């Protein structure tokens, strides 16, 4: 269960407050510090698997991208630590808080964000989606490997669903969803060969 920690604070206060070497994860949601649920082993393994697959594509195609070990995305008075984030080497130097704080404030710094759903799935489908869209992040993936998202987001019957949100020319996300053995289609990684079933089976 996601738990709010204290009264409303600024993003700068959140960064100053964040405990070093903590075994817990925190995010700032509209000015409120929120303790995030500890990822399960499967959750962590899927995030790692996706990061490795993207890393293979970056190296194979010699793309100017990288996946940082740690990173906070700042949107107004919110700060998110995504499960996987792909940053652009060619534009990251323009982001004023990156070098000292590993903090992203510009959508141009980010090629792709991936969130793996868990008990706080509503944050991924609503709160974060709106903020990533507002920041202008080109592509946003939601890997709902348990099929726990609301029916309005993943349909009926509920099943494992991989949602790819792409930023349109109007600055709004358009979604395409993939299930089972359907190949996930990405504008950022157009040659990626990956399916929902492969992701689910990544621990075998």
Q: What is the pLDDT of residues 65-121, one digit of tens each?
A: 999 998 999 999 999 999 999 999 999 999 999 999 999 999 999 999 999 998 889
pLDDT number for residue 6: 60
Q: Which two tokens stand for residue 167?
A: 């930023």
- Averaged pLDDT score across all residues of the chain: 93
CA 193 to CA 179: how far, in whole Å? 14
Q: What is the pTM of this model?
A: 0.93
Helix spans in the chain (H)? 11-17, 41-61, 98-101, 121-122, 128-135, 151-154, 196-200
CB 67 within 8 A of CB 60: no
Which ranges of 33-190 would DSSP assign to H, the alpha helix?
41-61, 98-101, 121-122, 128-135, 151-154
Using pLDDT thresholds of 50, 70 and 90, give the confidence band for residue 196: very high
Tell me the residue length of the chain.
204
The contacts of residue 139 (CB under 8 Å, 6+ apart) are 111, 112, 113, 164, 165, 166, 167, 186, 187, 188
Asked whether residue 18 carries a pLDDT value surpassing 50, the answer given is yes
């Amino acid at each position: 269960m996601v738990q709010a920690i204290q009264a409303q604070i600024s993003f700068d206060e959140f960064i100053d407050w964040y405990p070093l070497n903590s075994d817990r994860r925190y995010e700032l949601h509209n000015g409120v510090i929120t303790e995030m649920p500890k990822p399960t082993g499967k959750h962590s393994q899927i995030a790692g698997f996706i990061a490795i697959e993207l890393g293979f594509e970056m190296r194979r195609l010699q793309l100017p991208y990288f996946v940082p070990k740690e990173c906070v995305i700042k949107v107004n008075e919110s700060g998110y630590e995504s499960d996987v984030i792909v940053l652009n080497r060619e534009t990251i130097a323009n982001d004023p808080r990156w070098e000292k704080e590993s903090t992203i404030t510009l959508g141009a710094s980010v090629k792709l964000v991936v969130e793996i759903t868990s008990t706080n799935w509503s944050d991924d489908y609503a709160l974060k989606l709106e903020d990533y869209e507002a920041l202008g992040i080109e592509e946003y993936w939601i890997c709902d490997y348990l099929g726990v998202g609301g029916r309005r987001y993943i349909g009926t019957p509920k099943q494992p669903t991989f949602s790819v949100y792409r930023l349109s020319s109007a600055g709004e996300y358009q979604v395409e969803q993939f299930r089972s053995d359907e190949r996930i289609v990405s504008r950022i990684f157009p040659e990626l060969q990956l399916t929902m079933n492969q992701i689910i089976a990544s621990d075998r």
